[in-house]
Structures are given as C-alpha cells and as structure tokens.
Amino acid sequence: MKLRQLLAPLSRSSAEAVRTLGNSTGNPVKDYLYIKTPIETDFQRHVESSNSPETIIFLCGSSGDGKSEILTKFYNQYQQQFHFHLDATHSFQPDMNAIQTLDRQFTIHKSEGKPIVVGINIGMLGNYAEEGDEEHQDIIQSIKLFLNDEEDSLPAHHIFLNFENYPKFRPEEDGVTADFIEKLLVKLTQPTDNNDFYQAWLKEKDQYPEMLHANYEMLLMPEVQKIIVQSLLKVRLKYDQFLTARTLLDFIYSALTGPGYLFDNIFINTATELTSALVHFDPCTIRSKDIDIFLIQRSMKVQDEQFDQYKQDIRHLINEDNMEIGSWIRCFYLLQNKSIGNNYHQEFKSSFTQELYQKYVEIWRIHDQFDGRNRHHRDTLREFYQKELLEAIFRFANRLAPELGQKQWYLADYNGYCLSTRAVIKDNLKALPDNRSKRLGHFNAMLMLNGKPLEQPLQISANFLELIMKINSGYRPNKHDKNNIVILEEFIDQVTALLRSSNTLKIHTQTPKQQWVLTNDEDYDEITAEEDY
C-alpha cells in the first residue's frame, strides 16, 4: 500500500475516524499507531477491580478524544461482566431521546444488578443532571458533585474518569513533555521493519518522489517533531485548544498530505479549528531585525551567497528555486534546531524564541511544585509577584491617578477630588500547596491584602501573563483584551470593595497640589492637610 493510502485513515473525514461496536474490528494502521494512555490504564484498573453490582464508570470528555477507542477495546473482553453504553450523546432509538435512553440504561443496570460503563461528553452530563428521571436521583447527585469538583464526596461505586484531567502537556524541569503526541510522532516515523509508513516512504521516495515524501522526511527529524510539539503547546495555552486524539491525527494527515511543504501546511491551513489557531503563530508574522532584513533583501533580489549555498545544501529535501519568501521563513522556523548544510537557517533562531510561553510554563511549574522548602522557587515567585504581577495590578488600578504608585489604591473621583487609601498587597505563598491548578491552562496566584489573605485566587493564564507584561511596558488595554481585562477588573473591584472600609482615606487634588488624610477612629475623626505634596 502506498504512503498516501496508509495515511488516509488518519483524516477526520475517513469512515474509520470513529470506532463503534459495529465497527470494532479496527484498522491495521490505526491499531499500529494506538498508544495506551494514563486514562486507559486507570480505566482498566477500575474495571478489573470492580466488585460491586452498583458500579458505574463514566468515561468523560469531548468528541474525538478517544472514548470510543478505549470502550470498544474493553467491550470485547468485559461485555459479560459489564453493560456498555458507548455514546450517551445519542439515543439510537427513534422513540427516545438521549436523556431517556440513559434513564433506560440506568434502570436496566439497577434491575439486573450488573455494573455499567458509560462513555459520555461533559455537556451531556450536565444535561442529564438537569433532566434525568427522579428514579435515578442518586446518579444525578453524583454527576452534580463531579461537575462541581466535589469528587471527594462521591460514593465509591460511582467513578468518573475525565480526559481533561489527563493533560497532553506536562511541564518538567527541562521543558514541557507531551507524552502522547511525542509517542504518536515517533511511532509514525520510527525506521523499523514493522512500520508500514516508513517502509512505504523508503520504497517510493526515489521511484515516485513527490512533496508528500519530502514532508515525511522532514517529520522523520526529531528536531522537527519537537518544534511541532512546541507549536501545539502555544495553541493550547493561547486558545485553550483541547487536543483530542482525532484532532491530532487529522492535523498530522493534513500537514503531510497538504498542497505544500510541511512548514506551509502547518501554518497556512484554515480547514479546522486547530489549524486555524496555528495560523496565528505563523513565523512570517514575527517582527525582528534579522527576519525583516531577510525579507527586504529577498524582495529587492539582493545577492546572498550564504543563502544560495544553503538552497543547494537542502536541494535533496526542498527543490524550489521560486519558493515564496514567507515559505522560507517557515522553513527556517521548522528546521531551526536541525543542522543542515551551512546552517544558514539557524541565523534566525533567536528571532523565533517566544519568551512569553517559556516564562508562563516555568511559573506554572513552580506554582505546581511549591512546598516552601526550595529557596530558588520562593525567590523566583516573590520576584514575579512583586515586580510583575503587582506592578501591573497597581498600574491598571491607578491608571486614572498614576501619581499614586504602589501601596496607595485609587478609589474614586468626586468633583476634581481624588480618593485613595493605603493598600499593601503581597504574595501568600503559604497558600499555594492547597491551591494548585489541575490544568496547564492557568495557575492560581495567591495574595494578601493589608495582612489578610484574599480568599479567591487570581487565575493567571498565558494570555493574562501577556497582558501583565504589556501593561508593565506602558500598554493601555483595549477592547481586544476584553476577556483578560474582565478578570483584572473583577479582581480590582474585589480589592476596592474590601478597601472601602479602611480607617484612613486620602483626598487630594492635582491643581493646586493639595492633600488631606482622613483618619477614622472609634472616638473621633482626624483630618490632616498638606500642601505641595
């Protein structure tokens, strides 16, 4: 079978993209690429250890995350011991809707005294919690506890396994690991006799060369695989894109079989939600001195012997004399860690470094690992809180009275008089171990106001961190920042509400410069006035 035919089942449009009980025999290609995940390991453990007829195992997630693959695999082995309801989103019966079908499944489960496994989307869980039959109030109550993150209160025989609690990315000391994605790329490209993809490429690349074979050769490079994983991480952080197994397989398919080279197919394809998000990370949109000079020189046809030599060096891989300038930038980006020829492409490597995401991952990791004993972690977080987070908060809170600075909080303006009060906000690092985030999408910043802990954490995402960095550089947020501004404004409103009960109020004017300090004591009020402050 040819390489293009072997890749076809990876496409989301393939008839084999979704596995059902009626189509549970599998496909050799997808079976070869199948990777056992931590959630499958936990699912297997619960199935094998189940000893109660009341057991219900919910396998929860989003469309395409791999529920069907896991359930059909275990259905063949455990259908005698368990009822299996693979897709609770559908009814499969014309006289019942999905909710009624679930009611019926739970009734059978209870009447027959046989445990049940349910594959279900999170949205459908919420619908059933609202519309399920009163007969199954015990199950409805468990679903509500799960949806409210109160899993510690669940009965032992109601088990919820959620794909979102098994993230595709995990920060480590030396970077971010993406176990599932990395294993998938390695399996697809490993140079072994039992890898039909690799063997097909070997046979075709010289006899029937086409762009597909050049793309696969680039994907063979571990350095390229690493850049792809990093790009997917950025999409995950910026757009909260949940990467399902089906989404990733379809992405690999389109990247390899698209109309252009691998680097173009990754960054200019808008066919899916994931690829549309990747367009926003097109290396061509990066502005740096090196890239701008390259673009200007190429547009003016300035002779560059090093670049000409580089094109000759990689002609075995990319044979395009008239390739667009933007495609070369994408090529340099994808190959930035690979040594090829005279390594002309590596001159642009520093331009491709995006410190925001590196910084976010590092701060998230320290929050996740913080136990108070590591001095480096403590010093790093305190510097981040004081010099970045709190600096931005005070800048934004006092934007109508920038002369206030830190430790003085703007409250209001009345007829030309500015009202403010003292606000000492510090980190509350002791609270971090009890407020770790389960997901990479945000970390919880814990703060204290005037010596008292703030009960609600400030959730910081990569986008919020970007806003913080911009504010500290003098940026004034606008309507395009509305999602993050809402979070910041809600926090400022929370602090302002707490400070309105302060005993000391400062009243001041700009012209002429005057200020009064009003102190509220149990016995009397005291006003002190100063001029030319």
**Residue (of 347, 447, 451, 311) closest to 390 by Cα position:** 447
The number of beta carbons lying within 10 Å of the beta carbon of residue 127 is 18
The verdict on 332 and 281 lying in the same domain is yes
**Rounded-to-integer distance, Cα 29 and Cα 197, Å:** 9
Q: DSSP labels for 488-517?
A: HHHHHHHHHHHHTT-SEEEEEETTTTEEEE
Helices (H) and strands (E) in the chain, counts: 22, 16
What is the 3-class SS of 81-109, one letter each residue?
Answer: CCEEECCCCCCCCCCCCHHHHHHHHHHHH
The verdict on 79 and 139 lying in the same domain is yes
If one compares 380 and 455, the residue with the highest pLDDT of the two is 380
> Which pair of structure tokens corresponds to residue 256?
């390899």
> Which pair of structure tokens corresponds to residue 135?
């007969």
What is the rounded average pLDDT of the residues 69-93?
A: 81
Cα 117 → chain centroid: 28
The verdict on 217 and 326 lying in the same domain is yes
Residue 105, domain CATH: 3.40.50
The verdict on 439 and 475 lying in the same domain is yes
- Domain assignment of residue 375, given as a range: 358-502
In a domain, 445, yes or no: yes
Q: What phi and psi values does residue 145 have, to the nearest 5 degrees? A: -65, -40
Which domain-ending residue is among 106, 139, 165? 165
In a domain, 28, yes or no: no
In a domain, 197, yes or no: yes
> Which pair of structure tokens corresponds to residue 190?
């490993």
The string of pLDDT tens digits covering residues 44-54 is 999 999 989 99
The string of pLDDT tens digits covering residues 123-151 is 999 999 999 999 999 999 999 999 998 99
Q: What phi and psi values does residue 171 have, to the nearest 5 degrees? A: -65, 135
Which domain-ending residue is among 165, 188, 208? 165
For the ranges 16-20, 248-252, 290-294, the lowest mean pLDDT is seen at 16-20
State the Rg of the chain over Cα: 29
Task: Reply yes or no: is the peptide bond before residue 402 cis, omega within 30 of 0.
Answer: no
Which domain-ending residue is among 117, 140, 165? 165
The verdict on 317 and 408 lying in the same domain is no
In a domain, 510, yes or no: no
* 514-520/452-453 β-pairing: unpaired
Q: 416: helix, coil or strand?
A: coil
> Which pair of structure tokens corresponds to residue 221?
């490079």
CB within 8 Å of 337: residues ≥ 6 apart: 223, 226, 227, 349
**Rounded-to-integer distance, Cα 180 and Cα 243, Å:** 10
In single-letter form, the type of residue at position 251 comes to F
**Rounded-to-integer distance, Cα 47 and Cα 56, Å:** 10
Q: Is the CB of residue 368 less than 8 Å from the CB of residue 356?
A: no
**Rounded-to-integer distance, Cα 166 and Cα 276, Å:** 24
Alpha helices in 190-221 (DSSP H): 196-207, 211-219
**Rounded-to-integer distance, Cα 169 and Cα 498, Å:** 38
The string of pLDDT tens digits covering residues 24-38 is 556 788 889 999 999
Number of structural domains (the chain) is: 3
Q: What percent of the chain has pLDDT over 70?
A: 93
What is the rounded average pLDDT of the residues 188-192?
A: 97
Give the model's confidence band at 463: pLDDT under 50 very low, under 70 low, under 90 confident, else very high. very high
| pLDDT score, position 356 | 94
The number of beta carbons lying within 10 Å of the beta carbon of residue 286 is 17
The verdict on 192 and 239 lying in the same domain is yes
In single-letter form, the type of residue at position 240 comes to D
Q: 57: helix, coil or strand?
A: strand
**Rounded-to-integer distance, Cα 175 and Cα 517, Å:** 51
**Rounded-to-integer distance, Cα 98 and Cα 96, Å:** 7
What is the rounded average pLDDT of the residues 506-510?
A: 83
| pLDDT score, position 476 | 86
Mean pLDDT score of the chain, rounded to an integer?
90
The verdict on 234 and 157 lying in the same domain is no
| pLDDT score, position 532 | 46
The string of pLDDT tens digits covering residues 407-428 is 899 999 988 889 999 999 999 9
The verdict on 362 and 348 lying in the same domain is no
317 secondary structure, DSSP code: T
In a domain, 17, yes or no: no
Q: DSSP labels for 282-295?
A: -GGG---HHHHHHH
Q: 531: helix, coil or strand?
A: strand
In a domain, 515, yes or no: no
Query: What's the full length of the chain, in residues?
Result: 533
Residue with tokens 């559908």: 90
The verdict on 234 and 327 lying in the same domain is yes
Q: Is the CB of residue 120 less than 8 Å from the CB of residue 59?
A: yes
Q: 80: helix, coil or strand?
A: coil
**Rounded-to-integer distance, Cα 487 and Cα 457, Å:** 11
Alpha helices in 370-438 (DSSP H): 375-384, 390-397
Assess whether pLDDT exceeds 90 at residue 340: yes
The string of pLDDT tens digits covering residues 294-314 is 999 999 999 999 999 999 999
The number of beta carbons lying within 10 Å of the beta carbon of residue 373 is 7
The verdict on 450 and 412 lying in the same domain is yes
**Rounded-to-integer distance, Cα 228 and Cα 497, Å:** 46
For the ranges 47-56, 172-181, 243-252, 511-520, the lowest mean pLDDT is seen at 511-520
CB within 8 Å of 127: residues ≥ 6 apart: 98, 99
In a domain, 248, yes or no: yes
Assess whether pLDDT exceeds 70 at residue 41: yes
**Rounded-to-integer distance, Cα 258 and Cα 261, Å:** 8
Q: Is the CB of residue 409 less than 8 Å from the CB of residue 398?
A: yes
The verdict on 202 and 297 lying in the same domain is yes
The string of pLDDT tens digits covering residues 322-335 is 899 999 999 999 99
Q: 443: helix, coil or strand?
A: strand
The verdict on 421 and 297 lying in the same domain is no
In a domain, 511, yes or no: no
Dihedral angle, C-alpha 490, 495, 499, 501, nearest 10 °: 70
Angle at 212 between CA 169 and CA 23, to 5 degrees: 65
